[in-house]
Chain A
């Protein structure tokens, strides 16, 4: 059943304190909407549970990107287009710039936001593995104040997060300490453009004196939440990259993930592809990573 717009409210307070007081005054009643690329799809299909929406598209402080000596702070309502156009993000956080470039087509990149991708909490979201490996930190705000949440502890289950009903993601902060790392990302979907991922990998590696000093691997669409492969990283730490190590990492990755069969793919295919993507990353890291 199509939604009837007469059944819905949409208000535009225009500033953050007013948005937060609405969220606090009627808990769980109001739903923030930024670019609408996810919510309008649910709305049109008559599947949006909330009838009251708050416009956060026009809140200037949610649209800023601030650069500090030790970190970059990205407003939650920054669009994929804004991320792609930002020179420092392209230079120091290429995994995020790439994910932004293959999330939807240009029209959706002009409206879809990083905070929306996080709050929507789909395990298939393309930008989330990048945020995991870059040690992102979220600032959540409410009338009660603000708190910082390490991004890896944000998702608690399928589409579940630690965010309270009165909270809003204000910004996403990334430490500027990965620009010397070798980075690799790969999305596997039904077609290159505008397809939701079957499997999506984002990885960073640092090699010194021929051995892996640090490695960070995250994969989307293979578990109820975007997943960092800590066990696989432990298997690799301190090792020299070679066929045996790559096989061990591939086997560990396949055990660590929890893929399912769904509309886009099967658990078996996802496990095979996830293993291959980890192996491909390590081969590239071995071949190209030593010089970077």
Chain B
């Protein structure tokens, strides 16, 4: 086992972010959210509530959707992380992006990175989701602009377009 660090000691955390190996020196209890934004400059991940209720800070951690405000960075050692910036290489980004634009699924934009990641996470598991699947998949992501219906419609449209291909 590793020796317990003194309080105040930073530790090396090595992980993969958006396909690139990264090495950061951080306090072990620093939130993954803060490391992504402040150390790595990946400001696409937003802070909303800071307590796991709103989903603005959603990222994929080893393929699992998580709220990065609730993850201590030391727990991500060796992990693979995908943020909204890394989604540009994802097969689902084109249909999702187009559908969000067409349906008015994005307004102020703060929830949008989290919505896109949660939608991609859902569509990977369920390529043809029902409305209730979509509601459940996005239940942890709050939006104060759209009223949600446009977002649900966008995800439905993105799924249909992808399946049609």
Asked if A11 and B70 make an inter-chain contact with CB atoms under 8 angstroms apart, the answer reads: no
Asked if B52 and A104 make an inter-chain contact with CB atoms under 8 angstroms apart, the answer reads: yes
Instruction: Report which of B1, B8, B139 forms a contact with A193, defined as CB distance below 8 A.
Output: B139
> Counting CB contacts under 8 A, is B123 at the interface?
no
Instruction: Report which of B28, B52, B122 forms a contact with A40, defined as CB distance below 8 A.
Output: B52
Asked if B7 and A57 make an inter-chain contact with CB atoms under 8 angstroms apart, the answer reads: no
Provide the A24-53 mask, 1 if CB < 8 A to any CB of B, else 0. 000000000101110011011100000111
A-chain residues with CB within 8 Å of residue B5 when the two chains form the complex: 9, 11
Q: How far is the CA of A5 from the CA of B29 in the complex (A)?
A: 5
Given contacts A5-B27, A8-B7, A107-B66, whether A55 and B75 have CB atoms under 8 Å apart is yes
Given contacts A43-B29, A106-B137, whether A12 and B74 have CB atoms under 8 Å apart is yes
A-chain residues with CB within 8 Å of residue B139 when the two chains form the complex: 105-106, 192-194
Q: How far is the CA of A58 from the CA of B139 in the complex (A)?
A: 27
B11–chain A nearest beta-carbon distance, Å:
9
> Counting CB contacts under 8 A, is B136 at the interface?
yes
Provide the B47-69 mask, 1 if CB < 8 A to any CB of A, else 0. 00011110100100000111101
Asked if A33 and B72 make an inter-chain contact with CB atoms under 8 angstroms apart, the answer reads: yes
A254–chain B nearest beta-carbon distance, Å:
32
> Counting CB contacts under 8 A, is B140 at the interface?
yes
B-chain residues with CB within 8 Å of residue A58 when the two chains form the complex: 75
Q: Which of A88-115 contact B (CB under 8 A)?
A: 101, 104-108, 110-111
Provide the B18-42 mask, 1 if CB < 8 A to any CB of A, else 0. 0000000011111100000000000
Size of the B side of the interface (Cβ < 8 Å), in residues, is: 41
B-chain residues with CB within 8 Å of residue A15 when the two chains form the complex: 1
> Counting CB contacts under 8 A, is A1 at the interface?
no
> Counting CB contacts under 8 A, is B141 at the interface?
yes
B28–chain A nearest beta-carbon distance, Å:
4
Which A residues fall within an 8 A CB radius of B?
3, 5-15, 18, 22, 33, 35-37, 40-41, 43-45, 51-53, 55, 57-58, 81, 101, 104-108, 110-111, 192-194
Please give 12 more A-B residue pairs, beta carbons under 8 A apart, in addition to A10-B29, A107-B52: A10-B28, A12-B1, A12-B74, A13-B1, A13-B2, A33-B72, A40-B70, A81-B64, A104-B140, A106-B118, A107-B55, A193-B135
Please list the 3 inter-chain residue pairs (A to B) with the smallest Cβ-Cβ separation, ordered nearest first: A105-B140, A193-B139, A5-B27
